[in-house]
Amino acid sequence: MRTPTIDKSEIQAQRAVMELIKSSNPGRKALVETYGCQQNVNDSQRLMGMLTEMGYTLTDDREEADLILMNTCAVRDNAEQRVFGNLGALKHLKARKPELIIGVCGCMPQQELVAEKIRAKYRHVDLIFGTHALYRFPSLLAEALEHRSRVLDIGGEGAIAEGLPVLYEGGAKAFVSVMYGCNNFCSYCIVPYVRGRERSRLADDVVAEVRELAGRGVKEVMLLGQNVNSYGNDRGETDAFAGLLRRVGEIDGIERIRFMSSHPKDISESLLEAMAECPKVCRQLHLPLQSGSDKVLKDMNRRYTAERYREIVRRVRELMPGLSLTTDIIVGFPTEERADFEETLKMLRDIRFDSIFSFIFSPREGTPAAKMESAAADGEKSAWFQEMLDVQNEISAEINSRCVGEIQEILVEGESKHEPDMLSGRNYANKIVNFRGDGSLKDKLVKVKITKAQTWILYGEQA
Ligand code: SAM
Ligand code: SF4
Ligand code: F3S
């Protein structure tokens, strides 16, 4: 078994290109717009790290940017449409400012047909590259800057690239990818096609990165992978994530550890034990269910049953009472009928998740589910979706209301976006807690007594 890894000399070559661009950079500004999941946020931090090394200043303002890079997501049609809409809007800016470089990267251009559409219909885009070419960004940019011609780098295989700069921008919180890609091929999902096969970073590299983060004042890390339960499998290891969790738990300065996602089909007893035994691992688990119907789960190629899922939840709660549980649900999978949907509602009522991330099924070209005939009409699916939200909102509000009176530890992120006279942070369950306090508490862990609860947010006062 071999995990493809980019040779050090190649990374060095990219570093040399970064130096070269920096030496002739007259103070250009760059904007990176990120769509999609935490892995993309993490990738954008790499792109921003490289841009900073190349002498770029980062900006949020499209008007003043000399380079606009869209790091895209392909998981649902609405994510892609948003990118196409935003790309269309940049046409006028490019006409006014021809030296502006516009790039599209990430999961969308990793699909050949989409890359072709961008190339053919959005002629103001200069740079198109997929997820597998991320580490080559400096040389692609150099080509675009030097030749002023369109540059395309898609396809290929994914590999691990260590040693690239990263711009951490989350204060006391950071994302750390432990693996890339996915081998599961759930029948609805585009991710394995755009992210390639599973590749795990070496535990030593992950631990070194987390140590460095702790040295910079990071207190909370979220370990990322599409299915962290198979971390290490590509290197011939079994159940390696539990060991990694324990090693990260020993790093001084790190106070909180989270991870996502976990596939229920291969969550292991040793992982649950590692969670339970490591006090720094937050009492929180994101365990995507997708559907409560065995028929639909089978058609989704999820490879577990509703009963197996219930069994895992029982065990998790036995080992970690009070653990906060969240999930992902897809409504309107082609073979889903009303009776299947009702089984999902029953699961929600029985399990009582703290919250759910729910999506209406979106056919993705190239996946098996995109070719399946749909049992329910679109209008019906939207009605089910709303019905499910109503059921869940009541449960979430009820669970939150039970927190009133508790003293919880909050990692303060700063001023609340919507209530600027308040500070905002997250509790162990990753729920937002707002309270009044001094700005100097930012990035600190603070004890807060919960005084009021709403469906999505808790309020409190410093204890
Ligand atoms: N690997 C993770 C997992 O298996 O749970 C997350 C994958 S994906 C980035 C996040 C969620 O998007 C999935 O859990 C699923 O609920 C949803 N999703 C993926 N493909 C979808 C599709 N074609 N239509 C609607 N939702 C989709
Ligand atoms: Fe997609 Fe399934 Fe892989 Fe998650 S586990 S990324 S849903 S294929
Ligand atoms: Fe989207 Fe790619 Fe993540 S498709 S959800 S950004 S892995």
CATH number of the domain to which 345 belongs? 3.30.750.200
Q: In this predicted model, what pLDDT tens digit does every residue of 411-453 receive, in sequence order?
A: 999 999 999 999 999 999 999 999 999 999 999 999 999 999 9
Between the alpha carbon of residue 232 and those of residues 151, 251, 408, the distances in Å are: 35, 20, 35
Residue 2 within any structural domain of the chain: no
At 206-236, the pLDDT tens digits run 999 999 999 999 999 999 999 999 999 999 9
Q: Where are the beta strands (DSSP E) in 61-215?
A: 67-72, 101-106, 127-130, 151-153, 173-177, 179-180, 199-200
Calculate how far, in angstroms, residue 80's C-alpha sits from the geometric centre of ligand 2.
Answer: 18
Same domain, yes or no: 367 and 435: no
Q: Given 353, 380, 399, which residue is the final one in a domain?
A: 399
Do 254 and 276 fall within a single domain? yes
Residue 101 has pLDDT above 70, yes or no: yes
> Does residue 147 register a pLDDT over 90?
no
pLDDT score recorded for residue 23: 97
Look at residue 296 in the predicted model and tell me its pLDDT: 98
Q: 451 and 420, same structural domain? A: yes
Q: Which ligand is nearest to the CA of 180?
A: 3
CA distances from 233 to 175, 243, 257, 258, 266 (A): 21, 13, 22, 21, 11
How does residue 149 score in pLDDT terms, banded at 50, 70 and 90? confident
The pLDDT score that the predictor gives to residue 108 is 98
State the average pLDDT over residues 168-187. Answer: 95
**Cα–Cα distance between 2 and 112 in angstroms, integer?**
26
Q: Is 191 in the pocket of ligand 2 (CB under 6 A)?
A: yes
Least confident of 105-114, 150-159, 403-412, 422-431: 150-159
Closest ligand 2 atom to Cα of 261? 4
> Does a structural domain hold residue 3?
no
Whether the predicted model's global pTM rises above the 0.95 cut: yes
The percentage of the chain sitting over the pLDDT mark of 90, rounded to a whole number, equals 97
Tokens 């890339």 belong to 180
Is 263 touching ligand 2 by the criterion CB < 6 Å? yes
Evaluate: CB of 359 within 6 angstroms of ligand 1: yes
Look at residue 288 and tell me if it is in a domain: no
Q: What is the CATH number of the domain that holds 107?
A: 3.40.50.12160
First to last CA, the chain: 53
Report the distance separating Cα 309 and Cα 312, nearest Å: 5
Same domain assignment for residues 387 and 309: yes
Q: How far apart are CA 373 and CA 352, in angstroms?
A: 32
Whether 87 contacts 104, CB under 8 Å: yes
- Evaluate whether 457 touches 448 at the Cβ level (below 8 Å): no
Chosen domain end from 282, 311, 337:
282
Residue 56 CB partners (closer than 8 Å, separation 6+)? 25, 28, 29, 30, 66, 67
**384 neighbors 340 (Cβ within 8 angstroms):** no
Q: State the average pLDDT over residues 175-189.
A: 97
Q: Is the Cβ–Cβ distance between 175 and 145 less than 8 Å?
A: no
Residue 246 sits in which domain range?
168-282
In this prediction, residue 180 carries a pLDDT of 97
Same domain, 146 and 30: yes
Bridge partners of 408, per DSSP, are: 448
Q: What is the pLDDT of the chain when averaged over all its residues?
A: 96
Q: Please, are residues 424 and 434 in contact by the beta-carbon 8 Å criterion?
A: yes
Q: What is the pLDDT of residue 125?
A: 97
- Of the three residues 373, 399, 425, the one that is the final residue of a domain is 399
Relative to the CA of 328, which ligand 2 atom is closest?
Answer: 7
101, 225: one domain = no
Structure confidence at residue 1 (pLDDT): 60
**287 located within any domain:** no
Is 384 in the same domain as 433?
no
Give the pair of three-digit tokens for residue 447: 């004890």
Q: Is there a single domain that holds both residue 69 and residue 142? A: yes
The pLDDT-based confidence of 170 (bands split at 50, 70, 90) is confident
Question: Do the domain assignments include residue 99?
Answer: yes
Q: Are residues 307 and 331 in the same domain?
A: yes
> Helix, strand, or coil here: 255?
coil
Rounded to the nearest whole angstrom, what is the distance from the C-alpha of residue 91 to the centroid of ligand 1? 31
For residues 247 and 176, the answer to whether their CB atoms sit within 8 Å is no
Same domain assignment for residues 61 and 83: yes
Task: Kindly list the distances between the CA atom of residue 211 and the CA atoms of 86, 215, 240, 249, 259, in Å, as whole numbers in the listed order.
Answer: 38, 6, 19, 11, 17
Calculate mean pLDDT across residues 360-370.
Answer: 97
CA distance linking residue 264 with residue 306, whole number of Å:
10
The answer to whether the CB of 67 falls within 8 A of the CB of 103 is yes
Nearest protein Cα to ligand 3, atom 3: 37
The CATH number covering residue 262 comes to 3.30.750.210
Residue 378 has what pLDDT? 93
Question: Looking at the domain assignment, is residue 421 inside a domain?
Answer: yes
CA distance 195 to 39: 10
Give the integer Cα–Cα distance in Å for 426 and 332. 32
147 and 212 share one domain = no
191 and 85 in a single domain? The answer is no
Task: Quote the CA–CA distance of 288 and 273 in Å, as a whole number.
Answer: 20
Once rounded to an integer, what is the mean pLDDT over residues 100-106?
A: 97
Q: Looking at the 3D structure of the chain, how many domains does it have?
A: 4
